[in-house]
Amino acid sequence: MKRQLLIYGSGRHTVPFLSYMAWLTAKKTPNICFIPTASGDDEAYIARFYDVCKNIDVQPHVLRVWINSYDQKETFEEIIGTMNAIVVGGGNTLNMLAIWKAQGIDVLLRKAYHKGVVMGGGSAGSLCWTNGGTTDSRPAALSIVKGLSFLDKSHCPHYNSEKSRRPLYHKNILEGKLSDGYACDDRSAIHFVNEEVERSVAMDAENHSYHVYLKDGAIVEDRLASTVLG
């Protein structure tokens, strides 16, 4: 079964990236599920997801974690088990991962990934699939957080929009605190198939994705050739 990830730099919902995720499922009208745990199940964020999905041939769903057993009768396993694609939103990565672990959602996502469900997202929603990166989830300064390691590479979102991200990412790789990995500008994405880069896509010609690694004691930043989505 083909394992697929689509990671991008910003957690904002957009028609191009959600359309691309839907296309990757190879389904006519796929079930696509938004998981907004990192934003505390923010209702405005959820409403934006539904608004964007009106422009795409998909069946939109939302997996909320701020629920109770009196009102929520469908289990997380039942929800995830019927999806063709899952998109994770931005927000507090550290809190999201802790909640997923407590609820067993991390295990369910891994199971779905290996069954061919397309996984993706931006910001916290891209960082979570990798082995780690920098996050603003703690007070005072950006710090390192470990992800689920579906992709055993590090990651840096917001590469072109937050000035501190790029130099800190380079520094952490130089110091061995992070492995080599991939960085995405806000409007750029990388599609992985079986944990290998399949292609880079972007919403415009000004946003890019990069492979960032250490060679002979220095940082190398290879820009990936991108296809601009129509």
The two structure tokens encoding residue 141: 């300064």
The alpha carbon of 151 is separated from its chain's Cα centroid by a whole number of angstroms, namely: 11
One of 13, 61, 155, 158 is an active-site residue; which one? 158
Please name the residue ranges forming H helices in 62-156. Answer: 76-81, 93-103, 105-114, 124-127
Indicate the angle between helix axes 43-53 and 15-24, nearest 10 degrees: 70
The two structure tokens encoding residue 140: 């005072």
Annotated catalytic residue 155: no
Annotated catalytic residue 158: yes
Q: Which residues contact 55 (CB under 8 A, 6 or more apart)?
A: 15
The two structure tokens encoding residue 226: 């991108």
Give φ, ψ of 69 to 5 degrees.
-70, -15
- Measured CA to CA in angstroms, residue 168 lies from 116, 152, 173, 176 at distances of 34, 19, 9, 12
What gap in Å lies between CA 28 and CA 1, rounded to an integer? 19
Smallest Cα–Cα separation from 11: which of 34, 30, 32, 31? 34
One of 123, 137, 188, 209 is an active-site residue; which one? 123
| Residues with catalytic function | 123, 158
